[in-house]
Each structure stands twice: as structure tokens, then as C-alpha cells.
A and B are shown apart, each in its own frame.
Chain A
Amino acid sequence: DTEVTQTPKHLVMGMTNKKSLKCEQHMGHRAMYWYKQKAKKPPELMFVYSYEKLSINESVPSRFSPECPNSSLLNLHLHALQPEDSALYLCASSQERWGSTDTQYFGPGTRLTVL
């Protein structure tokens, strides 16, 4: 059983909608991640939060807006998306340990379709 949960599992939205993806981890991890994955491709890192602060933004368009309300929760706010933003969005978390195994554990993902 995964200890990283994501809601919703599926989301269909229009280009003018505003929606949010939610992620919660129950492992006491201090780093959380958002990835975007297109079909048959590896995941692409979007954002990293470390100790609730944004530490990496991989030049993601501003129509994606991350938020980390606390160390267990991570949101991704979506606004004015394009059809090419349709993808699987994966959340992950890790302990944030340096110089050692810092395994990222992933949630089940949200399949987003933008019409």
C-alpha cells in the first residue's frame, strides 16, 4: 500500500477551468515533488519542495502553481491549461537526506485530460 495518496485519480477540465491536484504523504518526509509524465515517456520533474519551501522550479509555465501548506500536503493549482498539458501527474516524497539513499516514493498519480 502506498503511503503517498493523490486526488483525484482522474480529472477532465476545460481550458478556462481552475482545478487543483492534491497530494498527501504519511511518512514524515520533508521533501515533496511534482512530476509530469506523458505516455511512454519517463517522468519529468516540475517542482520540488524541501522543508515546505520551493527549492526547484523546472521552468514550468505559470499556469501551474504549486503550494505546500504543510510538510504532509502538496497541491498543484491548475489554471488556463492547454490540451498539451494532458498527462499523468505524479507526486512523490522523500526524507531529504544528503549523501545517502534518499528514495523517492510515488503516489498513484492523477490522469489529467484538458479539452
Chain B
Amino acid sequence: AQKITQTQPGMFVQEKEAVTLDCTYDTSDPSYGLFWYKQPSSGEMIFLIYQGSYDQQNATEGRYSLNFQKARKSANLVISASQLGDSAMYFCAMREYGGATNKLIFGTGTLLAVQP
């Protein structure tokens, strides 16, 4: 079973608008972390934001916020005031802390295109 699901292969958004990228996850480990990465066409994976399973508040980093709904096992990324430079592939990832490994489990990604 897929542990991280990103159901939107591609999305368009107008410049200056907000956009939500969906991510659902599946784990039985009570302790886990959720990450979002941005990958422009240049290839580098850029860390955007982190949410821990015990964090009481939704994480925010500048224009990025994470809409964390633990009961629904969702961790959607919200980008406010989109910019042309936000056009990239976005990956949601999870790390489970119960095991003895430090593996990141990635979703399949969402390709975001910001239109002027």
C-alpha cells in the first residue's frame, strides 16, 4: 500500500493566487514527520516545510503553510500569493520514527505551473 499519496499529477494556478497541493499518508507509527520539497527543473530538491506528528500547530514558513489534519491523515501544502518561480515539482515525504532507519518515503509528486 502506498504510504504517501499525492493525487494531483499537475496543477495550474494564476500568479498572485493561493494554491493547495494535496498529500495524504498512511502510517501506524504514532511518531512521524512530514516534509514538503520543491524541485525546479534544475533538479535540486529544496526543503520547504516540516510538520511533526505531535506538533499542535500547523507549520508555516513564509508563503508556505501546512494544513495538517491528523485524523484525516492529510498534510496539504498551501502556497500563498503564487509567483512564477514557484513553478516546479512538489514532493510530499514522510519519515517514521518507530523504526531503526532514517528513510524518507516520497509521494509521486505534483507538477505546479504558475501562469502570469
Contacts and interface: CB of A to CB of B under 8 A. Distances in A.
Contacts, number: 59
A43 B102 contact: no
B44 A109 contact: yes
Q: How large is the interface on B (under 10, 10 to 19, 20 to 34, 35 or more residues)?
A: 20 to 34
Nearest to A94: B102
B44 A107 contact: yes
A85 B45 CA distance: 20
A70 interface: no
Interface string A26-41: 0000010000000011
Interface of A: 2, 31, 40-43, 45, 48, 50, 55-56, 88, 90, 92, 94, 96, 98-109, 111
Interface of B: 31, 33, 35, 37, 42-47, 50, 52, 89, 91, 95, 97, 101-104, 106-109
